[in-house]
Structure 1
Amino acid sequence: MDEISFGTDGWRATLDTFTAPRVRMVGQAVATYLRDEGETAPVAVGYDARETSRGFAEELARVLCANGFDVVLSERDCPTPVVAHAIVDRELAGSLVVTASHNPPEYNGVKFLPSDGAPALPAVMDAIADRLAEPAPLPESAHGTVRRVDFRESHAVAALNLLASIAPDATDTIGTLTIAYDAMCGSGRGFTDALLERAGASVERRRCERDPDFGGTPPEPAPGNLEELARTVRAGDADLGIANDGDADRLAVVTPDRGLLDENLFFAALYEWLLAHEGATEASTPDGAGDDRQGHTNRGSGAAVRTVSTTYLVDRVAAAHGESVHEVPVGFKWVAEAMAEHDALVGGEESGGFTVRGHVREKDGVLVALLAAAMHAEESFDDRIDRLLDTHGTIVQDKRSVACPDPAKGRVLADLEAEIPDAVAGVAVDDVVTADGFKLLLADGSWLLVRPSGTEPVMRVYAEAADRERVDALLEAGTALVERLV
Structure 2
Amino acid sequence: MRKLKFGTDGWRGIIADDFTFENLRIVSQAVADYVNGQGAGHKGIVVGYDNRFLSDRFADTVADVMIQNGIKVYLADSPLPTPVTAFAVKVHEAAGAVMLTASHNPPEYNGFKFIPDYAGPALPHITGAIEENITRLQNKMLPARWADQEQAMELADVLRPGDDAARAAHRKEPAVAERIIIDPRPEYFEHLEQLVDMEAIGRANLQVMVDAMHGSGMGYLNVLLEKAGTMVKQCRCYRDPLFGGGMPEPTGKTLTGVCDWIKEREGRLGLALDGDADRFGIIDDGGVYVTPNQFLPLLYHHLITVKGLVGPVTRTVATTHMLDRIARRHGQEVYETAVGFKYIGQNLLEKGCVLGGEESGGLSIKGHIPEKDGILAGLLAVEIVAMHRKNLLALARDVAEEYGGPLYSERLDVRTTPLKKQPVLDKLGEFNPAVLGGTPVAGRVTVDGVKLLLESGEWVLVRASGTEPVFRIYVETHRPERVKELSREVAVQIGLDD
Q: Which whole-Å CA distance do the structure 2 matches of 1:264 and 1:344 have between them?
A: 18
Q: Is the contact between residue 14 and residue 108 of structure 1 (CA under 8 Å) also seen in structure 2?
A: yes
Q: Which amino acid aligns with 1:443?
A: E
- Map residues 170-189 of structure 1 onto 2, 5 A cutoff: 170-174=200-204, 176-189=205-218
1:73-119 Cα shifts (integer Å, max 9, x gaps): 11221100000001011101101111111111011111100001011
Pair 1:145-2:178 in alignment: yes
- Map residues 439-458 of structure 1 onto 2, 5 A cutoff: 439-454=451-466, 458=470
Q: Which whole-Å CA distance do the structure 1 matches of 2:377 and 2:276 have between them?
A: 14
Using the TM superposition, give the Cα deviation of residue 129 of structure 1 relative to its aligned residue in structure 2, in angstroms: 0.5
Task: Indicate the residue corresponding to 2:430 in structure 1.
Answer: 418
Q: Is the contact between residue 213 and residue 236 of structure 2 (CA under 8 Å) also seen in structure 1?
A: yes
Q: Which whole-Å CA distance do the structure 2 matches of 1:482 and 1:366 have between them?
A: 39
Q: Which whole-Å CA distance do the structure 1 matches of 2:70 and 2:365 have between them?
A: 35
Using the TM superposition, give the Cα deviation of residue 168 of structure 1 relative to its aligned residue in structure 2, in angstroms: 7.3
The DSSP-based 3-state class of the residue aligned with 1:223 is: coil
Pair 1:353-2:362 in alignment: yes
Q: Which whole-Å CA distance do the structure 2 matches of 1:137 and 1:224 have between them?
A: 46
Task: Indicate the residue corresponding to 1:292 in structure 2.
Answer: none
1:327-375 Cα shifts (integer Å, max 9, x gaps): 1111001001112221111111011100011110100111121111111
The DSSP-based 3-state class of the residue aligned with 1:225 is: coil
Pair 1:220-2:222 in alignment: no
> Cα–Cα, structure 1 residues 179 and 457, in superposed 2: closer, same or farther, change >3 Å?
farther
Using the TM superposition, give the Cα deviation of residue 323 of structure 1 relative to its aligned residue in structure 2, in angstroms: 2.0
Q: Which amino acid aligns with 1:143?
A: V
The DSSP-based 3-state class of the residue aligned with 1:17 is: coil
Q: Which whole-Å CA distance do the structure 2 matches of 1:13 and 1:330 have between them?
A: 21
Give the one of 125, 128, 131 matched to 2:127. Answer: 125
Q: Which amino acid aligns with 1:364?
A: D
Give the one of 100, 103, 108 matched to 2:102. Answer: 100
Task: Indicate the residue corresponding to 1:295 in structure 2.
Answer: none
Give the one of 144, 147, 150 matched to 1:136. Answer: 144
Q: Which amino acid aligns with 1:29?
A: A
Task: Indicate the residue corresponding to 1:390 in structure 2.
Answer: 401
Pair 1:338-2:352 in alignment: no
Task: Indicate the residue corresponding to 2:187 in structure 1.
Answer: 154
Q: Is the contact between residue 3 and residue 17 of structure 1 (CA under 8 Å) also seen in structure 2?
A: no
Q: Which whole-Å CA distance do the structure 1 matches of 2:60 and 2:418 have between them?
A: 30
Q: Is the contact between residue 251 and residue 352 of structure 1 (CA under 8 Å) also seen in structure 2?
A: yes
1:237-294 Cα shifts (integer Å, max 9, x gaps): 411011011110010111124701011110001111110134x54xxxxxxxxxxxxx
User: Greater RCO between the two (CA within 8 Å, min separation 6)?
Assistant: 1
Q: Is the contact between residue 425 and residue 474 of structure 1 (CA under 8 Å) also seen in structure 2?
A: yes
Using the TM superposition, give the Cα deviation of residue 412 of structure 1 relative to its aligned residue in structure 2, in angstroms: 4.2
Task: Indicate the residue corresponding to 1:22 in structure 2.
Answer: 23
Number of aligned residues: 462
1:194-251 Cα shifts (integer Å, max 9, x gaps): 2222232111001111100000110011211111111112234411011011110010
Q: Which whole-Å CA distance do the structure 2 matches of 1:333 and 1:406 have between them?
A: 28
1:391-422 Cα shifts (integer Å, max 9, x gaps): 22110101021236789867643431124333
Q: Which whole-Å CA distance do the structure 2 matches of 1:356 and 1:345 have between them?
A: 5
Q: Which amino acid aligns with 2:435?
A: A
Q: Is the contact between residue 173 and residue 378 of structure 1 (CA under 8 Å) also seen in structure 2?
A: no
Q: Which whole-Å CA distance do the structure 2 matches of 1:470 and 1:179 have between them?
A: 35
Q: Is the contact between residue 257 and residue 382 of structure 1 (CA under 8 Å) also seen in structure 2?
A: no
Task: Indicate the residue corresponding to 1:293 in structure 2.
Answer: none
Give me the identity figure in percent.
39
Q: Which whole-Å CA distance do the structure 2 matches of 1:250 and 1:104 have between them?
A: 15
Using the TM superposition, give the Cα deviation of residue 477 of structure 1 relative to its aligned residue in structure 2, in angstroms: 2.6
> Cα–Cα, structure 1 residues 205 and 117, in superposed 2: closer, same or farther, change >3 Å?
same
Q: Is the contact between residue 259 and residue 286 of structure 2 (CA under 8 Å) also seen in structure 1?
A: no
Q: Is the contact between residue 406 and residue 458 of structure 1 (CA under 8 Å) also seen in structure 2?
A: no
Pair 1:43-2:52 in alignment: no
Give the one of 269, 281, 285 matched to 2:298. Answer: 269
> Cα–Cα, structure 1 residues 217 and 479, in superposed 2: closer, same or farther, change >3 Å?
farther
Farther-moved stretch of structure 1 (342-351 vs 138-147): 138-147
> Cα–Cα, structure 1 residues 403 and 318, in superposed 2: closer, same or farther, change >3 Å?
same
Task: Indicate the residue corresponding to 2:162 in structure 1.
Answer: none
Q: Which amino acid aligns with 1:371?
A: L
Structure 2 unaligned residues grouped into runs of 5+: 147-171
Farther-moved stretch of structure 1 (123-132 vs 149-158): 149-158
TM-score scaled by length of structure 2: 0.88
Q: Which whole-Å CA distance do the structure 1 matches of 2:240 and 2:130 have between them?
A: 32
> Cα–Cα, structure 1 residues 245 and 480, in superposed 2: closer, same or farther, change >3 Å?
farther
Q: Which whole-Å CA distance do the structure 2 matches of 1:386 and 1:81 have between them?
A: 30
The DSSP-based 3-state class of the residue aligned with 1:156 is: helix
- RMSD between aligned alpha carbons? 2.2
Using the TM superposition, give the Cα deviation of residue 383 of structure 1 relative to its aligned residue in structure 2, in angstroms: 2.7
TM-score scaled by length of structure 1: 0.90
Q: Which amino acid aligns with 1:446?
A: E
Task: Indicate the residue corresponding to 2:166 in structure 1.
Answer: none
Q: Is the contact between residue 400 and residue 479 of structure 1 (CA under 8 Å) also seen in structure 2?
A: no
Give the one of 309, 312, 316 matched to 2:318. Answer: 309
Give the one of 353, 364, 369 matched to 2:373. Answer: 364
> Cα–Cα, structure 1 residues 48 and 454, in superposed 2: closer, same or farther, change >3 Å?
farther
Task: Indicate the residue corresponding to 1:191 in structure 2.
Answer: 220
